Chains A and B, each alone.
Chain A
């Protein structure tokens, strides 16, 4: 029993890394643009399908394929932001962006259905099936690589935000859009690139998701609600918070699964509710959420 619990904790941490990869983009987009990108779930699935195409058609390694899928998703993100989100202004912007990104999600999902149909697919590679046995724990290689990738991506985003001139303008925009505009930050460019980066990260998240789960175009819905729970729990806009919350939530879920797999997902959402009752800004929230 004790060993089972340890194994569950290790599993939770590793799977948490995969979810962090998907949640980081969402929380980054929220922090800068002040919107919730409902399409993030289906974009993860799109990233998984892109990796699927590269690995089945061109027999490209999954991780090597990221060199192509990440820039591709970046372009898709910039286009979505430029075409739809940039135009939204005014009092109902919060709910408007919700609807717009949901519409984008519907369209992408519909197109994926037209191309691939409802059958589930999974990404495959030599390291997807095998695992390594350390200290009595079974650690699948794919999760180890994925966790390393998640940490690398988060470090890279931190470096981008805190070590570059662009990052400084992003942080300025996060703090106060009007003030940033006044001191000469091109806020529209910052918003477009941030959205692009947030979506580009999902290419990595999608590859990991596709390698560790079977997916079809419909998988985005389940995913987005989990990701939203994670970023709210981590504190909206906090990248470290997204990693911490992913690991926390997935560990809790993994522990509950030992006793009752059916109730594990309920605990996932219940944990969110309980934490928010105690601390409405989440683990690493910057400030109380203001009036609309």
Chain B
């Protein structure tokens, strides 16, 4: 085990070194631009995962926090006449705005579950987008907000933002790791598996969900602020972008919902891919069809995401073909699903009926 730890520790060091050295090796601003966007999404999707991945409440409204963070920096810089690199002092404000908005957001949306929760987050999202359009004097309406000019030369601009976003991404990932390992993370996952049972066992579900949402929103707000300074502009339909929300969900699902590395890998694959396709097919229609087809392939053939699926393969290789999952006969004798923390890994024909029955049983408890 200690050898394994040493290997993974070494891998981590190599990874960090590679991430730090990246802009030195690939100095082209085109490449670093891809990297900055990818890191922005690594940070946001990790934060999203802390709430939605761990608790099972799929939020399609994180653009609310992201966009509000961006607008907070823009409005504060304009009203308080902050120029130059001083704007970076406003980033804690962006995080605070995200966190403060998360409180009423959570008080409304967390009263309901599953589909209704998802739709409520969409509704709140649209309210925010429309407010950004309509509160002209405050948000600049359709013209949006522009960031103050940063006195950095164009050659180092992307590199500097690369390290800023790298720090954000690293911070978000560390937060996700710490939460996942903590008692708090365990409580979140208990809510995901069976909220009523978790409450019965003494988890203060509302408080736990709310804390996770606020933490997640704070990071999303902060990164929104950074994104705004990088792009130097925010419009109602870019700050509050419905595709942003869906991109987060897709990244998390591609990589593996609720895992640490899954959403990161998802973000690193999807965001550069999407950017590349949009730049290549400027009219955007072919990229849309391709993206949709990719979606379908992932969900239909790798429904648990890359990381759990590959983890499974590795385990299978290690156990040399002996089944990791107990054979169906013992499955049937196993205790009901509520006591189980994970669904069985395979989805062969024979188990489907059983799974459906379990789903029903889970709902009836």
Contact = CB atoms under 8 A, between A and B. Distances in A.
A106 B108 contact: no
B201 to A, nearest CB: 14
B328 to A, nearest CB: 15
Interface string B234-268: 00000000100010011001000100000000000
Contact of B289 (A90, A111, A236): A111
A166 B314 CA distance: 47
A291 interface: yes
What DSSP secondary structure best describes chain B's contact surface? helix
Interface stretch (B21-29, B68-76, B144-152, B292-300): B292-300
Nearest to A282: B116
A103 interface: yes
Interface string B220-246: 000000000000000000000010001
Given A90-B355, A95-B249, A109-B288, A266 B127 contact: yes
Nearest to B131: A266
A103 B122 contact: no
Interface in B85-125: 108, 111-116, 118-120, 122-124
A280 interface: yes
Contacts of A262: 130, 133-134
Contacts of A110: 285-286, 288-289, 292
A106 B295 contact: yes
Contacts of B296: 84, 100, 103-104, 107
Nearest to A100: B299
Contacts of B58: 94-95, 98
Contacts of A98: 58, 118, 249
Contact of A269 (B126, B285, B357): B126
10 contacts: A36-B118, A93-B359, A95-B58, A107-B288, A113-B288, A225-B126, A263-B130, A263-B134, A280-B116, A291-B194
Contacts of A95: 58, 118, 249, 253, 257
A96 interface: yes
Instruction: Say which size band chain B's interface belongs to.
Output: 35 or more
Interface stretch (A61-69, A198-206, A240-248, A271-279): A271-279
A178 B115 contact: no
B120 A276 contact: yes
Contacts of B284: 113
Interface string A26-43: 000010000010000000
Interface string A145-161: 00000000000000000
Interface string A204-245: 000000000000000001000100110010001000000000
A270 interface: yes
A134 interface: no
B116 A107 contact: no
Given A90-B355, A177-B356, A292 B114 contact: yes
Given A177-B356, A280-B112, 11 more contacts: A91-B343, A92-B257, A94-B118, A103-B291, A104-B292, A107-B296, A114-B286, A228-B123, A232-B116, A269-B130, A291-B113
